[in-house]
Structures are given as structure tokens and as C-alpha cells.
Amino acid sequence: MIRGLYTSASGMLALQKRQESLANNLANVNTPGYKQDVGVMRAFPEQLISRIRDQEGPNIQGYPNLNEQAAVIGRLNSGVYMSEALPMFTQGDIAETRNPFDVALLDNLQPDQDGNERRLFYSVARIEDLTQPANADDIRYTRNGNWSVNADGYLVTPDGYYVLDSQNQAIRVNDVNDPVAGIHAGQGLKISRLGELQYEDPATGTLENLPNNQRLGLFVVTDPMQLVREGTNIFRWEGDGEVESLDVAEANDQAAWAAGEYGAPRIAGRYGTQQGWIERANVDPMQTMTGMMSALRAYEANQRVITTIDGTLDKAANEIGRVNG
């Protein structure tokens, strides 16, 4: 009976966590590139419970009689907890903003040979020395393509991470120190469908590549569930194996295709960046609201169980053995 009290309390705690997770999804319903979390509830490990000081189990035909041992009553689950919040990496819908620094990432990569899910991400990092590529440890992944240009002329996310190119270097759009000869792409920055960075040269009117920046640093993450959510729309890779840059992944894919492992390439032609658009959060407000309501009712039910057990305990404590009751 006392166990039931703790079981219900664990239920209430777990539902509180689920409510927090749902509230965070709802809070980010307008955050570009946000991926909703789905809570996973898990029962506490099962215990085998047995009768105290009773060696004689029931005598049931067909079952072995376990005399001389504590008689087993059965298994008991002692409650529930929220074990993990799975980020759902499904594609969010895209919305037009007409801003040159908004870039939506669209992907429909097919699973790899082992059937693992694959997703495409932008790479970003905090960098001390901007002349050098970012340290491998500092690289983070994001789907948020809502960028701006900072005071030094570099492409950054709203939280100050530098957007990286395919060589893990920060992307300089405007050369602030050299107003005459330096590069000044400004609002004229062009990002192609494949993530190539270009600008229109005013002298010749042709599209030129940004110096040193051929392409946005896109990464293929196999089994994206292994990414750790850091907040601010940023994920850190903590799984086994490596995250492949798009060029490497694409080359491997082409090789596997050429070797006849599958009928069509699984990466090439299945992704694209779209400038002037953003990928919206993939949160479904309806579903989240419904989830909250059911969490609320389950919470209430758990509370009723506690109240009921409390009532039973009340009887045991105050009414049993009362003289002249």
C-alpha cells in the first residue's frame, strides 16, 4: 500500500516533466528550424516480490513446488519516469521571408545501407581566431537558417555562432576593414540550390564566388537521434562514428551506387538550400495541446490515487483499534 503512494508520486513527477517538454515545444512554435521533442515514458525496473517468512508456496498442478524458498508473489513495477526526449527531425514547412540571409534547408535523404535515418545539417561554431578553421570539437549542428551578418561582416546565427563553410571556416560577407578593395557582397549575397556562396561583382555584373568560401558547410548526420540538444537550436554530436561532410557522404554514395549496391543515388539530388526562405518549426500546436490536456488528466488521476491511498491509511491509523468508536 505504501508502495502505491510512491508509484503515483513518480507518475506525477514524470507527467510534470512531460508537461515541461510540451511547453517548450509550444514556446518554440515560431522558432525557425526548431525540431520538436517527443517524450518517452519508461517504467521503473521491475522487481520480483516475495512473501516474507513464508516458505510454502502454493501447490499448483503442473508447476514446480518451490518449497524451502521464499514464495514468489509476482512482479511489481514501482512507477514511471521520463527517460528521454526524442527530437523529431522531420522536415518543417518553409516560409518565404525574402531576406538574403535566410536560408531554408530541405532534405529527403534516403536511409543508408543499414537502414539508418540520415539528415542534413548546417555546421556552426564559436571561433576565437577567425583566420583559422574551427576546431573539430567546437563544431555544432543546426537546422536554423535564420542568419544575419555581424559587425565584422561575418555570417552568424541569432545566438552568435559563426556559420561555417565546407572548410570549417567562418564566412565573411563584407570586409569591414577594407572599404575600397575588400569584398562587399552585402545584400547581394547569392546562395545557390547546392549551397554555393556567390555575389554579383558590380564591375562585371557576373556572379563570383566568395574568396575561400566555395560552399556552405553541410553535414550528413547518420542516426540524428545521437545528437545532444544544447538549446539555442544547436545540436552536438556525441554518438559513435563520424559525422560526414556532404562532399564525403556524396562521394561514398556515388561509389556505392556505381558498385551496384542500390539502384539510384540516395543523397545526390535529394537536398537543397533555398535562399530567402526559412524552415519553420515542425511543432504541431494541436497535437501539443492535446498532449498537455492528457498529461493534465493523467496527473489528476495520479493525484486521486494518492488521495485514495491516503484515505485508506487514514482508516488504518485512526479507526482501527479505536475504543468506543
Partner 1 sequence: MQSLNISTAAMRGIQQALDNTSNNLANLDTVGYKRRVASFSELLSDSMNQQPEVDQANRNTPPGLRIGSGARLGLTKLDMGQGSLKQTDVPTDVMIEGDGYFLVTKKIKDGTGAIIQEENRLTRNGAFQIEYNNDEGGYVLHTASGHILTDEKDGVPFVLPEPVQNIQISKEGVLTANGTDYGPIGVWKVDNPDQLQQVGNNLYDAELESGQKPDSKYKNAIDEGIASLRQGALESSNVNMMEEMSQLVNIQRAYQLNSRAIGISDQMMGIANSIRSR
Query: Which 137-196 residues touch partner 1, going by CB under 8 A?
Result: 144, 146, 148-151, 153, 158-159, 173-174, 176, 179-180, 184-188
Closest to 29 in 3D by CA, of 231, 281, 234:
281
Q: Which is nearer to partner 1, 67 or 111 (CB)?
A: 111
* Segment 57 to 86, residues that bind partner 1, using CB under 8 A: 81-86
Closest CB 285 distance from partner 1, rounded Å:
5
Asked if 22 interacts with partner 1 (CB under 8 A), we say yes
Stretch that binds partner 1, among 23-31, 65-73, 125-133, 209-217 (CB under 8 A): 23-31
**The C-alpha cell of 130 is what?**
577567425
User: Parallel, antiparallel, or unpaired for β 80-87 and 140-142?
Assistant: unpaired
Closest CB 201 distance from partner 1, rounded Å:
10
Q: Find the binder of partner 1 among 54, 56, 178, 230 (CB under 8 A).
A: 230
Closest CB 118 distance from partner 1, rounded Å:
15
* Segment 104 to 143, residues that bind partner 1, using CB under 8 A: none
Which residue has 515514458 as its cell numbers?
Answer: 41
Q: What are phi and psi of 292, to 5 degrees?
A: -65, -45
Closest CB 87 distance from partner 1, rounded Å:
8
Strand partners, 141: 123, 235
Closest CB 295 distance from partner 1, rounded Å:
8
Q: Which is nearer to partner 1, 145 or 195 (CB)?
A: 145
Closest to 163 in 3D by CA, of 140, 185, 191, 179:
140
Helices (H), 161-233: none
Q: At what angle do helices 285-318 and 2-27 cross, to 10 degrees?
A: 160
* Segment 86 to 105, residues that bind partner 1, using CB under 8 A: 86-87, 97-99, 101
Asked if 10 interacts with partner 1 (CB under 8 A), we say no
* Segment 256 to 295, residues that bind partner 1, using CB under 8 A: 278, 285, 288-289, 292-293, 295
In whole angstroms, what separates CA 121 from the centre of its chain?
12
Q: What share of the chain is helix, strand, coil (3-state, %, to 5)?
A: 25, 30, 45
- d(CA 73, CA 77) in angstroms, rounded, equals 13
